[in-house]
Amino acid sequence: MSRHIHELVWFKSSYSGAQGGECVEVATRPDTVHIRDSKNTTGPILTVTPDAWTQFVGFAAHR
């Protein structure tokens, strides 16, 4: 795992409730977007380009 992963600032969706549940957290860098399971913060991290993230969010918003 690269060093900068430990320096990320993670954000949870404003739609996430205080009870937990199925949530993801996102951390952004200029050239990457990192996504992880908020219940397993030491687990795997998915890394995508900002363009891929924008396309995913646009797709999900229309579902």
pLDDT tens sequence across 18-38: 666 678 899 999 999 999 998
Confidence at 7, pLDDT banded by 50, 70, 90? confident
In the prediction, which pLDDT does 1 show? 46
Residues of the chain above pLDDT 70, percent = 79
Give counts: helices (H), strands (E), the chain.
Answer: 1, 4
In the prediction, which pLDDT does 63 show? 79
Indicate if the pLDDT at residue 57 is higher than 50.
yes
Domain ranges of the chain: 10-62
pTM check: above 0.75: yes
In single-letter form, the type of residue at position 54 comes to: T
